């Protein structure tokens, strides 16, 4: 017996949206509160500290700037992947989605180089409060990047079989994955100045 | 999200590339400002303001919030209120405005 999942393509009358889109926005609302709690902790630690180091004196700003560039570029390629599906160009979707995944992997690669340099300089989460919140925030963000890579890779590989059977549903899947991916970029936009530039 | 037809696709792509260029430009501004030690404590305010503009651009154009349904806007406004409360509470607590200070002897 096969059960059909409702509202994967057509919009619900009450929300005016397909379910996955409503779902991803509710999920992102909870994500805002998760990161919000950590930003709140950051403020509390910073205003309560007698001394607070400038991020740029401890951390590798050029590498972080390069990572910002990578993440912004991946956001554009993610949009292009979705646009390609809207234009029924599956080959271009594969190309742009592949670029997005590679850029995300490059982000994690650069981040690991950065972490290695910090560990080499004897900078660990237990070293001081600034580094504790720095590793917590960037570590959690990196886990979100990893999650995005898993979802985008599935859509690029095995999951892309859906394109032949149900192209509209697949396009919606990519759109929802894209919204999540832009949110990851959005969080980094604030992490970068708070931790590295101030 | 706004439906895209093949007629206006070039316009959409151009718009996204423009936003991308703007985001990179703003990142460059932030990077430069952080290097100017003359600005001192004002640096925090400037870099966060620039980040806020970048965040708005990403949310409005990449996440297409600008053309999203009102229900999504409602959910996000509610989230924003709680988020701001979350940020404000520790600051108010620190200043002793609402809870006061507890001294343990």
Residue A173, CB-side half-sphere exposure with 13 Å CA sphere? 18
Query: Is there a domain that residue B104 lies in?
Result: no
Say if residue B42 is in the same domain as residue B89. Answer: no
Tens digit of each residue's pLDDT (9 = 90 or more) over B50-89: 999 999 999 999 999 998 889 999 999 999 999 999 888 8
- Asked whether residue B53 falls in the same domain as residue B73, the answer is no
| Interchain proximity A65–B31, CB inside 8 Å | yes
Structure tokens at B49: 């303001």
- State how far the Cα of A61 lies from the Cα of A87, in Å rounded to an integer: 39
- CA–CA separation, B69 and A145 (whole Å): 27
Say yes or no: B90 contacts chain A, CB-CB below 8 A: yes
Minimal Cα distance from A63: which residue of B? B31
Do residues B30 and A172 touch, judged by C-beta distance below 8 A? Answer: no
Q: Which residue has the higher pLDDT, B9 or A133?
A: A133
Size of interface A-B (CB pairs under 8 A): 124
Torsional sign, CA A149, A151, A153, A156 = negative
Look up the CATH superfamily of A2-196: Cytochrome c oxidase, subunit III, four-helix bundle (1.20.120.80)
pTM for the whole structure: 0.91
pLDDT digits (tens, 9 = 90+) for A107-118: 999 999 999 999
In Å, the largest CA–CA distance within chain B is 73
Q: Is the pLDDT of residue B98 over 60?
A: no
Domain count along chain B: 2
**For B37-46, how does the pLDDT look when each residue is reduced to its tens digit (9 = 90+)?**
665 678 888 8
Report the distance separating Cα A138 and Cα A59, nearest Å.
12
Residues B33 and B51 in one domain: yes
Domain assignment present for residue B42? The answer is yes
Q: Say yes or no to pLDDT of A74 above 60.
A: yes
- Whole-number Cα distances in Å, A38 to B3, B20, B25: 36, 28, 28
Residue B32 has pLDDT above 80, yes or no: yes
In this prediction, residue A61 has a pLDDT band, given cuts at 50, 70 and 90, of very high
Give the structural domain span for B86: 68-99
Query: In chain B, which residues have their Cβ closer than 8 Å to the Cβ of A79?
Result: 16, 62
Residues B56, B28 within the same domain: yes
Report the distance separating Cα A55 and Cα A130, nearest Å: 9
Average pLDDT of chain B is 83
* CA-to-CA dists, residue B40 to A190, B13, B35, B37, B61, angstroms: 19, 39, 10, 6, 33
User: Does A190 sit within 8 Å of B55, measured CB to CB?
Assistant: yes
Nearest to B55 among A47, A79, A189 (CB): A189
Do residue B60 and residue B31 come from a single domain? yes
CB contact under 8 A, B90 and A41: yes
A44-53 pLDDT, tens per residue?
Answer: 898 888 889 9
Alpha-carbon distance of B67 to B77, in angstroms, equals 15
CB contact under 8 A, B87 and A26: no
pLDDT exceeds 60 at position A104: yes
Q: Which chain B residues are within 8 Å of A17, Cβ to Cβ?
A: 69, 71-72
ipTM: 0.90
Q: Specify whether B38 is located in the same domain as B89.
A: no
- Nearest by CB to B16, from A36, A44, A76: name it: A76
Element of type H or E holding A128: none
Least confident of A141-145, A193-197, B98-102: B98-102
Q: What is the mean pLDDT of residues A57-78?
A: 95
pLDDT for the residue numbered A92: 96
């Amino acid at each position: 017996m096969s059960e059909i999942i409702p509202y994967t393509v057509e919009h619900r009358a009450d929300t005016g949206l397909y379910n996955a889109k409503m779902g991803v926005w509710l999920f992102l609302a909870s994500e805002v509160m998760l990161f919000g709690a950590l930003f709140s902790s950051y403020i509390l630690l910073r205003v309560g500290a007698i001394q607070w180091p400038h991020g740029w004196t401890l951390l590798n700003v050029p590498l972080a700037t390069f990572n910002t560039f990578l993440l912004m570029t991946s956001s554009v390629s993610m949009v292009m992947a979705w646009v390609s599906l809207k234009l029924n160009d599956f080959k271009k979707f594969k190309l742009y989605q592949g670029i997005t995944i590679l850029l995300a992997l490059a982000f994690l690669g650069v981040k690991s180089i950065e972490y290695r340099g910090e560990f080499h300089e004897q900078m660990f989460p237990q070293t001081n409060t600034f580094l504790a919140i720095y590793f917590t925030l960037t570590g959690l963000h990196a886990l979100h990047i990893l999650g995005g890579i898993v979802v985008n890779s599935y859509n690029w590989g095995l999951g892309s079989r859906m394109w032949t059977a149900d192209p509209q549903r697949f396009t919606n899947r990519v759109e929802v994955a894209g919204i999540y991916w832009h949110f990851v970029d959005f969080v980094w936009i604030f992490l970068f100045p708070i931790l590295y530039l101030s | 999200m706004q439906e895209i037809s093949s007629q206006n696709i070039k316009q959409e792509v151009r718009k996204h590339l423009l936003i991308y260029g703007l985001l990179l430009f703003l990142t460059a501004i932030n990077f430069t400002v952080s290097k100017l030690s003359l600005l001192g404590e004002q640096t925090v305010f400037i870099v966060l303001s620039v980040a806020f503009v970048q965040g708005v651009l990403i949310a409005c154009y990449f996440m297409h919030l600008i053309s999203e349904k009102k229900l999504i806007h409602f959910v996000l406004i509610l989230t924003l209120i709680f988020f701001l409360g979350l940020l404000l509470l520790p600051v108010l607590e620190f200043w002793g405005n609402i809870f006061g200070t507890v001294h343990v002897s």
